[in-house]
Structure 1
Amino acid sequence: MCGVAGIFHAFRPAPPDLASLRAMADLMSHRGPDGDGFHVEPHVGLAHRRLAIVDLAGGAQPMATADGNVVISFNGEIYNHVALRRELTGLGHRFRSNSDTESILLGWREWGVDVLRRLDGMFAFALWDAEQGQLLLARDRLGEKPMHLARLPDGGWVFASEIAALLAVRGVSDRIDPAAVDDFLALGYVPDPGTIYADIRTLRPAHALLLRRDEEVAVEICYWTAPTRAASPPSDPAAELAARLGQAVRDRLMADVPLGSFLSGGLDSGSVTAMAAAATQGLSTFTIGFEGASDERGVAAQVAWRLGTRHHAIAGQADYVGMAGQQAAVFGQPFGDHSAVPTMAVCALARRHVKVALSGDGGDEVFAGYRRHRFHSLADGVRRMLPPGLRRHVIGGLAAAYPAMHGAPRWLRARSTLTELSLDSALGYYRMVCKMQAQTRRELFSARARVGLDGHDPSARFVALMDCCDPDDPLLQAQYADLHTYLPGDILTKLDRTSMAVSLETRPPLLAHGLVEWGLALPAGLKLRQGVGKRVLREAMASRLPPAVLHGAKQGFAATIGPQFRAQSQALRVRLTGEAMQDCGLFDIQALTRLVDAHAAGQGDHSQALWQLLVMEGFLRGRGRERIPAEAALVRS
């Protein structure tokens, strides 16, 4: 796990500015505290920050082939590098190190861009071939590792693992994109390929960008796609899943440094930890709990005792009002998932003992574990029984007439349910994942911002994605949408940035791409049955985990922030009506005041919206240029 940065000029033969490369690398020192490296030649400059995990002595980067013609700056891990090494050696290539990075270099020499399809791992890298005059920027299939890029005023390109590094280069614009602000308020993150900045883009997962010397046009390549239809069911799906997950975990135990596992008390992290404990001795596990609904330390301790791990657990308290202002320093742009706070805390706990940690991320997306999957499947069944006109006009009319009841349990919030039923399938699912509905967002924006947003609709990407899938499989449609939006935009962004902030490498075995392909293509009944998600995973782990994990309700990894925001309503009001929010011209300050007051008075739970707005305010104060503060990972214990 490392930091990658670089500059490329297609038409300028002079080497890029080394000082700019150093500045970019310096801003990502947390991603690679074990050393840095630079390579500069005509047209291209590469920078690297190293977190040494594999081949500690021989894996320094940027790494070049023996003749110096191909150079790479690489972030991630290639789990099948031993098999690739064997194959490439048989084809006549000679390796000079034990690093997985070298398998990409020599794989490029043998297969060109097709090397991407042979890599099993998480990665983002920049590879320069001086002989061919080509620069390849690539990102892994699911988006575990990041890559951002921007054009310079003189036509050059600049790229890096983190947005803040790009802003260190003179000429990179920090102009805010109002449509991205709308996306952020709607979803809680800015979806790929956008960023909060109008002129900075994100390379999409499973994509590569090929830049050529003396050519203006960049060629974008998609080298992998997820299944869009279910396949025939396996003869013994639970046994096959156990075997596949076991192999994925064993692959991800590859390290020359101490390794552990997160253990939240849930099914996903418990499954990964159980497989890891069976494959290695003395596994360390890590849990953080917050008093109340999100404290799963007791269940996690049961699992740790059963598996015989070296368990580390702490209790924590977090000042969410204060932490909101630090999110932009960690993420480089607004990020609205407040579970990032405890996630960073458990990463900091793990980093005291290990350098690599396995995580359970991805299980909900691959095996249909979210409550919204269940609700969407039920709603779609009802939609199919009702004529479109009846749904849109009659049920839509009932929804408009029903009281909102925002704070009530979902089964009492008939207005939400009726509204979702009145919409077509994709729009109904988008409404479930939306953090802040369109009317609320429009009321918070200033009149000028509303005019600029005319025609922008965050739901459009969900409609396009779900249209790619089998129309008779609404569950797969929802999973496919999650895989291309929420997973890379929220879950994996959170995992990468919070772990890298404390120099910890994290690996999610449930996102091994072969396992993802297999899991998504399962018939819906093996994933969701009788209102219970992840059925096949529960069956696969039945003999390995206690009933409290197998049958417990999903709790999530976030403390309740509503009461804290009510208690600190004055501080919220000061922050949200202050200079940063006024000067940006994006928001109606009176509307922000009304939202704070409504939450303080108990007129609905607006904690998610307030958290996102606090994060936005913190971003506007610093524009994501701050260094990550040393206290950012601290949760009072």
Structure 2
Amino acid sequence: MCGISGLFDTQGQRQFDHALASRINDIQAHRGPDEDGLHIEPGLVLGHRRLSVIDLARGQQPLFNEDDTVGIVFNGEIYNYQELVPELQAVGHRFKTQSDTEVIVHAWEAWGPACVQRLRGMFAFVLWDRNQQTLFLARDRMGVKPMHYAWLTDGSFVFGSELKVLTAHPAFVREIDPLAVEDYFSFGYVPDPRCIYRSAHKLPPATTLTLRRGQSHRAEPVPYWDVHFTNDNRMGLADAQAELRDRVRESVRLRMIADVPLGAFLSGGVDSSAVVATMAGLSRVPVRTCTVGFDDPRFNESIFAQQVADRYQTDHRLEIVKGDDFDLVDTLAWLYDEPFADSSSIPTYRVCQMARKQVTVALSGDGGDESLGGYRRYRMHLGEEAVRGCLPQGLRRSVFGAFGQLYPKADWAPRMFRAKTTFQAMAMDTVQAYHHSVSYLRSDQRKRLFSSAFQRTLDGYNALDVFRNHAQRAQTDDPLALIQYLDYKTWLAGDINTKVDRASMAHSLEVREPLMDHPLIEWLATLPSCLKIHGGEGKYVFKKAFEPLLPRDVLYRPKMGFSVPMARWLRGPLLARTRAAVLSERMLATGYFNAEVLQTLISQHLSGQRDHATQLWMLIMFDAFLRQYHAPVS
């Protein structure tokens, strides 16, 4: 697990400045504190910051083949690299290390761009082939590892694991993209391939980018994989349970290969508990586990984590996070480089900080909800879909649309009376309704928040377009499969994986996600949706599969989530910060926001009249980004 960076002259062989190359590489030193490597030749820079995990003595990067014609900088882990070594040796490739990095180099020589099809793992790498004068970028299938790039005003190409690598270059233009602002206030993050800056891009998951020196046009990413939901597997429940356990076991086993201390996050939820139970069955020594608890019992799952830790006699660590742990705003803004509104980034940062005291590698349960139908919103969407399927859209639009306009917004009321959002969703088509349900701020809320001038700048663009574009490629008419697909393409890569990558790398911790193993994902996509959500129970087949291994309280209690008491923070200890951020000169000077609406949000929330915690936190994090944006480039 590392950080990569570099520069490429697509037209010539200019000599890049060594000091500049070092500066943009070292700005992400937190990703790899063990070693730094820099290769510079005419027209090319390859930079690397190393967190040593495999082949500690000989795995330095940039790494080249025997005749120094193919080199690579790589971030991630290839879990099947030991299987590929003999296959590559059989066709004449010689290895000088025992690292997974060298496997990619020889895989390129053997199979060219198709090498990514053979790799099983999480990865972002850039490979230089001097003979072909080709720079090849690739990102893993699920978007676990990040890759950012841009073409600069001086004509060169820059790439890096984090966006700060790009912004540290003096030729990078830091101009905010208005469409990214619209996306952020809908999703809470800026989804791939867009960045908050116009000139920067994220390489989407499961794509490659090939640059050849002298090419006259800008290359575009090329997909090499996708999830195809067939839902046609006729396997019975008992057989599905057994195979699911076997597949999870194999995925966990592969991710336990490391030459450094290894452990796991244990939240007390179903997914992380299943991973820990599986690890315990594979390990001859107690599994190291760590849990973050909260002093507010409404947000504390540590008692359930302790049940699992006791059952498997893990080497368990618990750390309680106080209810006023909100002093990370500026730290998070620097880590994420873009506005990022998922408040669970705070406890995620803390659990990574805690884990790093014990281990260098930690396994997590991320990805289970998306693949197995674990979110409550999935069940609600299926219920709405059942009604939508019974009524013509014209009738739904007129009847439910009217209800949605007339019904009052009742944040203060019990959930059963908060029908406004549901009525609004019932008047929409499937994709629009799901976007409506997952948006931090719905379309009507964004319109009120944004100034008229900024809305004109958007020129009709709506963040819904992100979902529309992905839905066109989903190749499924199964209601659950469609929204799972949308979450794979947006929420999982843009929020979950981004959150975990930045929080873990801030502490030089490698996190591995067995439930995102792509063969497991492909197999789960063949299972009928009734095995994922059954009788109102999410993750049905998964929970049944792990009933012999986990306490019933862990499997079947209501999902709590990794949350923080945001509404209370904003009315109490964050009160002054909220006012200062939301009404700051920086915010108002952007011209993006309606100043009267900003004031109303604050006054209504602080009085208890309405709960605007979501909007206010998004604005606080946007202001924190603006502080970084206006800070001088070091």
TM-score (norm 2): 0.97
> Which residue pairs with 1:112 in the alignment?
112
Residues 156, 14 of structure 1: alpha-carbon distance in 2 compared, 3 angstrom cutoff: same
Q: Report whether the alignment pairs 1:543 with 2:544.
A: no
- The count of corresponding residues between Structure 1 and Structure 2 is 628
Q: 2:468 aligns with which of 463, 479, 495?
A: 463
Aligned to 2:600: 594
Contact 1:347/1:498 (8 A) holds in 2: yes
Counterpart in 2 of 1:418?
423
Q: Which amino acid aligns with 1:149?
A: Y
Shift of 1:317: 1.7
Identical aligned residues as a percent:
43
Alignment check: 8 A CA contact 2:108 2:115 kept: yes
- The secondary structure found in structure 2 opposite 1:326 is helix
Q: 1:160 to 1:464 in 2, by over 3 A?
A: same
In structure 2, relative to structure 1, the CA distance for the partners of 1:38 and 1:624 (3 Å cut) is farther
Matches within 5 A, 1:483-498: 483-498=488-503
2:588 aligned residue (582, 587, 597) = 582
2:233 is aligned to: 232
Of 616, 619, 628, 1:622 maps to: 628
Distance 1:387 1:620 in 2: 45
- Which of 335, 340, 357 is the equivalent residue of 1:335? 340
Contact 1:6 1:158 in 2 (8 A): yes
More moved, 220-229 vs 144-153: 220-229
- Work out whether residues 284 and 310 of structure 1, in 8 Å CA contact, stay in contact via their aligned partners in 2: yes
Structure 1 segment 283-322 matched on structure 2, within 5 A: 283-290=287-294, 291-317=296-322, 319=324, 322=327
Where 2:231 maps in the other structure, the secondary structure is coil
Q: Which amino acid aligns with 2:377?
A: R
**Are 1:571 and 2:572 counterparts?**
no
SS at 2:60 equivalent: coil
Cα deviation for residue 571 of structure 1 reads 3.0
On the 8 A contact 1:88/1:107 being kept in 2, the answer is yes
Q: Residue 137 of structure 2 contacts residue 210 of structure 2 at CA under 8 Å; is this kept in 1? A: yes
TM-superposed deviation, 1:397: 1.1
CA contact under 8 A between 2:400 and 2:427: conserved in structure 1?
Answer: yes
1:257 equivalent in alignment to 2:260: yes
Equivalent position of 2:529 in the other structure: 524
Q: Deviations over 1:614-636 (max 9, x none)?
A: 000011011287999xxxxxxxx
Q: Give the alignment partner of residue 275 of structure 2, picking from 272, 275, 288.
A: 272
Residue deviations 1:400-426, cap 9 Å, x none?
Answer: 111111233432112211111111111
1:256 aligned partner, one-letter code: D
Query: In the alignment, what sits opposite 2:454?
Result: 449
Matched AA of 2:34: D
**Aligned AA for 2:402?**
G
Distance 2:518 2:582 in 1: 42
Distance in 2 between residues matched to 1:611 and 1:626, nearest whole Å: 25
| Whole-angstrom CA distance in 2 between matches of 1:77 and 1:161 | 15
CA distance in 2, matches of 1:131, 1:470: 39
What SS is found at the alignment partner of 1:125?
strand
Relative to structure 1, is the Cα distance of residues 621 and 320 closer, same or farther in structure 2, using a 3 angstrom cutoff? farther
CA–CA distance in structure 2, aligned partners of residues 398 and 587 of structure 1: 28
CA distance in 2, matches of 1:507, 1:441: 36
CA distance in 2 between counterparts of 1:268 and 1:625 reads 40
Separation in structure 1 between the aligned mates of residue 577 and residue 17 of structure 2, nearest angstrom = 44
Query: How many angstroms does 1:91 deviate by?
Result: 1.3
| Aligned partner letter, 1:362 | G
Contact conserved, 1:20 with 1:169, CA < 8 A, in 2?
yes
Gaps of 5+ in 1: 629-637
Alignment partners' CA distance in 1, 2:630 and 2:325: 18
Q: Does the C-alpha gap of structure 1 residues 179 and 131 become closer, same or farther in structure 2, counting only changes over 3 Å?
A: same
Shift of 1:432: 0.7
Q: What is aligned with 2:508?
A: 503
- Take 1:226 and 1:237, find their aligned partners in 2: how far apart are those partners? 19
Alignment of 1:18-97 (within 5 A): 18-97=18-97
**Residue in 2 aligned with 1:635?**
none
Structure 2 CA distance for partners of 1:414 and 1:401, relative to 1, 3 Å? same
Matched letter for residue 283 of structure 1: V
Separation of aligned partners in 2, 1:392 and 1:302: 49
- SS in structure 1 of the partner of residue 5 of structure 2: strand
Indicate yes or no: 2:142 matched with 1:142: yes
For residue 389 of structure 2, what is the amino acid of its counterpart? Answer: R
C-alpha separation in 2, matches of 1:14 and 1:467: 42
Compare 599-608 and 499-508 and name the one that shifted more. 599-608
Residues 192, 204 of structure 2: 8 Å contact kept: yes
Q: Which amino acid aligns with 1:575?
A: A
Change (3 A) 1:252 1:470: same
Say if 1:405 and 1:413, in contact at 8 Å, map to a contact too.
Answer: yes
User: Aligned AA for 1:136?
Assistant: F
Q: 2:390 aligns with which of 348, 363, 385?
A: 385
272-281 vs 51-60, which moves further = 272-281
Structure-2 separation of matches of 1:234 and 1:2: 41
- Confirm or deny: 8 A CA contact 1:356 1:505 kept in the other structure: yes
Which residues of structure 2 form unaligned runs of 5+? Answer: none
Query: Per the alignment, do residues 299 and 258 of structure 1 end up closer, same or farther by CA in structure 2, a change over 3 Å counting?
Result: same
Q: Does 1:100 align with 2:100?
A: yes
> Equivalent residue for 1:432?
437
2:299 aligned counterpart, secondary structure:
coil
Report the alpha carbon displacement of residue 439 of structure 1 after superposing the two structures with TM.
2.1
Deviation for aligned residue 1:463? 2.4
Q: Distance in 1 between matches of 2:159 and 2:592?
A: 28
Amino acid in structure 2 at the alignment position of 1:220: P
Change in CA separation of 1:397 and 1:320 when aligned onto 2, cut-off 3 Å:
farther
Q: Distance in 2 between matches of 1:446 and 1:520?
A: 43
CA distance in 1, matches of 2:439, 2:258: 39
Structure 1 residue 319: Cα displacement: 4.0
Distance 2:618 2:632 in 1: 19
Distance 2:300 2:99 in 1: 40
Counterpart Cα distance in 1 of 2:352 and 2:577: 28
Mapped to 2, the partners of 1:115 and 1:625 lie a distance apart of 41
How far the C-alpha of 1:86 sits from its partner, in A, is: 1.3
Identify which range, 161-170 or 245-254, moves more after superposition. Answer: 161-170
1:282 aligns with 2:258: no
How many Å separate the matches in 2 of 1:414 and 1:381? 17
| Residue number in structure 1 paired with 2:16 | 16
Partner of 1:170: 170
Superimposed CA distance per residue, residues 528-572 of structure 1 (whole angstroms, 9 cap, x where no aligned partner):
011111011101111000011110111101112101101143331
Task: Kindly provide the CA deviation profile for residues 233-270 of structure 1, in whole angstroms up to 9, marking residues without a partner as x.
Answer: 33410000000000000000010000000000000000
How far, CA to CA, are the matches of 2:117 and 2:16 in structure 1?
31
Distance 2:479 2:630 in 1: 38
Tell me, in whole angstroms, the C-alpha distance in 2 between the residues paired with 1:555 and 1:595: 27
